[in-house]
Amino acid sequence: SAAEIAHTLPADEVLLACGVNMAKGLTSAEAARLLEKYGRNELPKDEGDPLWKMFLAQFDDPLVKILLAAAGISLVSSVLEGTSEGLIEFSVIMTILIFNAGVGVWQEKRAESAIEALQSYNPEKAKVLRNGKVQIVMAAEVVPSDIVEVNVGDKVPADLRMVDMQSTA
């Protein structure tokens, strides 16, 4: 479709393919229909997994499973032989795996925090051309085919295809 290759096409072809008039923008009805069709212009909110699930997920790795098996074998051999060597090996392996899982959870939580911080950079409002006039709408209500006005210093409210640029320089 034209939307997938919009960056390679001339602006007038993109406008034609999207069925939008550069001078008038979308009508309110078209914008409402597109909002219904494509949904809101926002990233889905992910609640995230509870800490215990994140912790257990750290053990879902082939190398970790091999180490768990080795720890289990050490424990069983220690019990069967009645020695403490296998118990020491078991304890060392499990300590390392638990520490590794803790570090993994900590890194995942930091990554989630970084993503949340990036969300704060999303603009709340956008200037769009609808019904022939520039209107301020919530950025989440920007839809495909909207003509969006972006000025110097504005946050860009969505992935956009630039069709016109005006400069005072």
Instruction: Give, for all 169 residues of the chain, the pLDDT tens digit.
Output: 666 777 888 888 888 888 888 889 999 999 999 999 999 988 777 777 889 999 999 999 999 999 999 999 999 999 999 888 889 999 999 999 999 999 999 999 999 888 888 777 777 889 999 999 999 999 999 999 899 998 888 888 888 878 888 777 6
Sheet holding 125-130, edge to edge: 133-138, 125-130, 147-149
Read off the tokens for 139.
């950025």
Which pLDDT does position 169 carry in this prediction? 64
Q: How far is CA 16 from CA 25, 69, 165, in A?
A: 12, 62, 19
- Alpha-carbon gap, residue 142 to 122, rounded angstroms: 13
CA angle 13/22/144 to nearest 5° reads 75
Which pLDDT does position 91 carry in this prediction? 95
Which pLDDT does position 159 carry in this prediction? 80
